[in-house]
Amino acid sequence: MKITFSWLGAVNTLLYIFILAPLAVVIIASFHPGEFLIFPPEGFSWRWYEYVLTSGRYTKPFWNSIWIAIATTCISLPVGTIIAYALSRYEFRFKGVIQSLFLSPLVVPTLLFGIGLLMFFSSMGIKMYFLRLVLAHIVLTIPYVVRTMIASFSNLKRSIEEASVILGASPVKTFWLVTLPQVKSALIASAFISIVMSFDELVVALFLTGPGMNTLPMMIYSDIQFNLSPSLAAISSLIIVVTLAVGFLLAVFMQRKKRI
């Protein structure tokens, strides 16, 4: 079999290596048995994975990040889906302006966004750090949900929805029983993106949190400054592996659904 060289394939390969190489370095460095984070590691040990899983240092920040991500997704997913449906199905005045408004958090620097939210919450007297973070993350994740769902709604055949209405179903029932099942893959992808974006958010959290509320990215950032040990690589490796595994399983699940 003749193998042909492709410049596009070569460039794509180099891009993948460039993206994945830092992740590989982190995972390899996590097995260093010593007290300091170095690469390449001088030996092999599960010591720091055991420390991360049993010491309890990262437990509370981890669950804080998880609950914030879940609460964020539970709100941003339905809200973003409804917004995307309205933008893709209806024509109304200032539609372009409204669409740009919902997508604006994608272009506003996160640093400025964090400062603005800090001033806003302070003026409104909102002092609950968990609520602050959830509200901030909702604003940050809704644009991703809207973009994903608009693309999915635009590819749907409206004749199926029209047939449902002609047969007597109300618009709400049609949306719930006919439209949403057809965009199930996009809903799952939007939820996954929302959870990952919320879980990984650092800059806004630095402005909006306080005593008693620490997220996992904040803990990792603090340790990078004051406690640069292989435990950082270990906890980061766990996050990388779990994220990639969940993403792979979701991709397989959605691919099987398409075949069915």
In which region does residue 138 sit, left (phi positive, over 0), alpha (psi from -120 to 50) or beta (all else)?
alpha
Q: Encode 141-167: b = buried (16+ Cβ within 10 Å), e = exposed.
A: bbbbbbbbbbebbeebeeeebeebeee
Region 189-217 average pLDDT: 86
Can you give the residue ranges of every domain in the chain?
Answer: 23-55+229-260, 59-214
Give the model's pLDDT for residue 24.
85
Is the pLDDT at 260 greater than 60? The verdict is no
Cβ atoms of 76 and 194 closer than 8 Å: yes
Whether the model clears a pTM of 0.85, i.e. scores above it, the answer is no
Is the pLDDT at 45 greater than 60? The verdict is yes
Confidence of residue 79 (pLDDT cuts 50, 70, 90): very high
Confidence of residue 70 (pLDDT cuts 50, 70, 90): very high
Is the pLDDT at 44 greater than 90? The verdict is no
List, for residues 93-137, the tens digit of each pLDDT value.
777 777 777 777 777 788 888 888 888 888 888 888 888 899 999
Polymer length of the chain: 260
Confidence of residue 78 (pLDDT cuts 50, 70, 90): very high
Q: Is the dihedral of CA 81, 84, 89, 93 positive or negative?
A: positive
Q: Name the residue with higher pLDDT: 4 or 156.
A: 156
Q: Which two tokens stand for residue 106?
A: 């994608």
Q: Name the residue with higher pLDDT: 63 or 103.
A: 63
**Percent of the chain whose predicted confidence (pLDDT) is above 90:** 8
Cβ atoms of 179 and 118 closer than 8 Å: no
Give the model's pLDDT for residue 5.
60
List, for residues 143-201, the tens digit of each pLDDT value.
889 888 888 888 877 777 777 777 777 777 877 877 888 888 888 888 988 998 898 88
- Spatial separation of the C-alpha atoms in residues 155 and 140, rounded to whole Å: 25
| Integer CA distances (angstroms), 89 to 26, 72, 143, 236, in order | 45, 25, 18, 42
Q: Which of 4-8, 184-188, 249-253 has the lowest mean pLDDT?
A: 4-8
If DSSP codes are grouped into helix, strand and coil, which group holds residue 109? coil
Confidence of residue 69 (pLDDT cuts 50, 70, 90): very high
Q: Which two tokens stand for residue 247?
A: 């993403």
Nearest Cα residue to 26 out of 239, 234, 247? 234
Q: Which two tokens stand for residue 169?
A: 């179903």
CATH architecture of structural domain 59-214: Orthogonal Bundle (1.10)
